[in-house]
Amino acid sequence: MIHAKQYGSSGPNLIVIHGLFGNADNWHSIAQNLAEHFTVHCIDLPNHGKSDSLPDASYPKMAEAVLDWTELNKINSFYLLGHSMGGKVAMQMAAMAAAGKIEKLIVVDIAPVDYQAGHTRILEGLKAIDESLPSSRKEADILLSQYESNLAVRQFLLKNLVRNEQGFKLELSVNNIADSYSTILKKPLIKNAVSIPTLFIKGENSDYILAEYQEAILALFPNASFKIISGAGHWLHAEKPLPFTSLVKRFLQ
């Protein structure tokens, strides 16, 4: 099952998909802002947050899980926004969904290309937390700091901590993510060009979308347009929420 949080109840449906190691809560303040104009559904992807675990989490499997969730909730047409890995899931959904179901697509700081591994140490650190059941958030942070030196990255990862009887555990299926990691790095499986109007938003300081990817993007998404948020990195929605939300509103309205 897919877990989702809804913001607002008037206006067209907008589904928001987080990136790797994230969850619906990452989008809380953005969703609150957008709820004036849309009925926003922030979902937890399989293996993340409160959604079910999924072995062999390929893009078609993850896309199918979210599309099944829309059917179950009678969401017949919607706008779709995905960040990073969630952007790849969103592209995969656009390739798989029935015509007219997804009205517009926003892909945030990711391209339909293969990426190099960059999270191997993080996965080791998350496994270490899972195995040791730390008794406090501070203890979890000290443990994770042996694998990841960047405090902001650790704070983001530790948002997955929840308390149980034994201590703190992660609301992530770490082993499933680790097993699927080589698949997650690959591009979504898209055979035919997707004609849905699509906006790619890049963070100026991020190297997740490079100029040389434009050809690959336009081959699969011929109706794509591009915007850059200046002074922002890969987490552009968190770093520059106002320019980000205004871009989203302008494209969707």
Please name every residue paired with 56 in a beta bridge, in sequence order, or none if there are none: none
Positive or negative, the CA dihedral 51, 187, 150, 174 is positive
Question: For the chain, where are the E strands, in sequence order?
Answer: 3-7, 13-17, 39-44, 78-83, 102-108, 161-164, 167-170, 198-203, 224-229
Catalytic residue among 84, 173, 180, 206: 84
**What spatial distance separates the first Cα and last Cα of the chain, rounded to whole Å?**
31
Active site residue 84: yes
Task: Give, as one character, the DSSP assignment of residue 178.
Answer: H
| Contact (CB, 8 A) for 81 and 66 | no
Of 131, 143, 128, 159, nearest to 48 by C-alpha is 159
Nearest to 130 by CA among 120, 119, 144: 144
> In the numeric block, which tokens belong to residue 205?
């300081």
Residue 33: how many other CB atoms lie within 10 Å: 18
58 in Cβ contact with 83 (< 8 Å): no
- Whole-angstrom distance, CA of residue 12 vs CA of residue 38: 5
Catalytic residue among 3, 83, 234, 237: 234
Residues with a catalytic annotation lie at 84, 234
